[in-house]
Amino acid sequence: MRRGSIVRLVIYGVLSGIAASLVAVLVPWLPTSASEEMDRIEFTFWFTTVICIAIFAIVAAVSIYSVLKFRAAPEDDTDGPPIHGHTGIEIVWTAVPAVLVTAISVVSAIVLAKNDDLGANPLRISVTAQQFAWRFEYPPSTEGGDDAVTSGELVLPVDRGVRLTLHSLDVIHSFWIPEMGQKSDAVPGIETTLGITPTRMGSYTLLCTELCGPGHSTMRAAVRVVSPQDYEAYLASEREGGGPGGGGGGDDGESVFASAGCGSCHTFEQAGTDAEVGPSLDELAAAAETAGQPLEEFVRESIVDPNKQLAEGYQGDVMPSTYDRSLSEDQLTGLVQYLVDGQANGGQENGG
C-alpha cells in the first residue's frame, strides 16, 4: 500500500471520528445525573460510545477511501475480481468484536453489581404501584414501631443509599426516575428491589414506563431529594398529621385523593385536577340521582366496585377494583366524605 493512501485513510478516519464525537458530546442525550448509580451507568454509556466512535471512524475511512479511489467509470458494467476467503481478515473481524463485547459486558457486570450494593444499612422504602398511582411507605421511627408513614410523594435524603422494594396491586408497572438512572418493573405477586443513592438535592419526577392501561401516561409521582434534616422533618410532620392510629400519610380525604392517584384519571374541581380518563367527579350528585341511590352510598360503591354501575360513555375494567384492599376503612370513609363535600361546594358555586 502506498504511503499516500495510508495518509488519506488516516485523514478520513480522524475527520469521521471528530464528526461522531461532536454528535456524542454536543447533543444532551442523557439527563444530568443525580445519583451515584446514574454516574456509573453514564460511565458504561461513554465506555461503549468511545468504542463505537473508534469502529465508526475505521469503517467510515475505508468506505470513503474506497468510494473515491475505486469508483467505476459510468460505462463500466464489468464485475470486480472474484475474491474468496482471507483467513487473516476473518480472524481479525471475529477476534476484535469478541474482545470489545467482552470488555463491555465486564464493565456492565461491575456497574450492575456496584449499583446493587448499598452498604450495610440502606434506608428501606416500600413502593406500591397500582393503576395509576404510586404510594410510598417509609420505615417507622423505631424498629417495629407502628408509625410508618405513607405518602404519594417520594422524599429521599441526599447522599444515603435507599433500597426500594417494589410491589404492584394489579398489572405490571415500571419505576423510573430518569436522573437517577435505575429502573425496575413492579410485578404483581413478586417483590423487586432497586437501589438509589441520590447525590443532588432537587425535584424530580417518577415515571411509569410500562404501558399499564388508559392512565399510564399520567402515572407519575413527585420526587424530592432533600437534606437529611429536612427528610426527618418531613417524616415528623407526616406523622403528626397522620391522624389516629399513626397510620401516617393522612386519612383525610384530600390526601387520600392525592396518594391514591384519583386525579390521574378524574376531573375534580376541588382538587384542581382535569384528567378525562374516567368520568368527572364534579357530577357525582347528578349520577347518584340517576342511579337512584343516596349520594354517599353511590360514591362508596363506585370506588370499591367501579364496574357495578358505569357512567355513560365509559368502559368497565378501566378503574382498578382494588381500593377496598388498598385503602383502609378510615381512608375510604375520608375519601367518600371529601368527594361528597366537593359536590356541595360545586353545587353552591354553580347555583350562585
Least distance to ligand CUA, CB of residue 327, Å: 18
Q: Which is nearer to ligand CUA, 132 or 338 (CB)?
A: 132
Q: Min. distance of Cβ 166 from ligand CUA in angstroms?
A: 11
- Which one, 132 or 323, has the nearer CB to ligand CUA? 132
Binding mask 132-151 for ligand CUA (x = CB under 6 A): x-------------------
Smallest gap from residue 325 Cβ to ligand CUA (A): 18
Nearer to ligand CUA, 219 or 225 (CB): 219
Give CA–CA dist 202/196, Å, rounded.
15
Determine if 173 is a binding residue for ligand CUA (CB under 6 A).
yes
Site for ligand CUA in 223-282 (CB under 6 A): none
Binding segment (CB under 6 A) for ligand CUA, from list 119-127, 208-216, 239-247, 344-352 = 208-216
Radius of gyration of the chain, Cα coordinates, nearest whole angstrom: 29
CB of 173 to ligand CUA, least distance (A): 4
Contacts (CB under 6 A) with ligand CUA, residues 12-71:
none
Contact between 216 and ligand CUA per CB under 6 A: yes
Query: How many C-beta neighbours within 10 Å does residue 152 have?
Result: 20
Of 36, 179, 210, 251, the one binding ligand CUA (CB under 6 A) is 210
Nearer to ligand CUA, 14 or 211 (CB): 211
Q: How far is it, in rounded angstroms, from Cα 191 to Cα 167?
A: 6
Q: Cα(219)–Cα(320) distance, rounded to whole angstroms? A: 13
Residues at the interface with ligand CUA (CB under 6 A):
132, 173, 208, 210-212, 216, 219
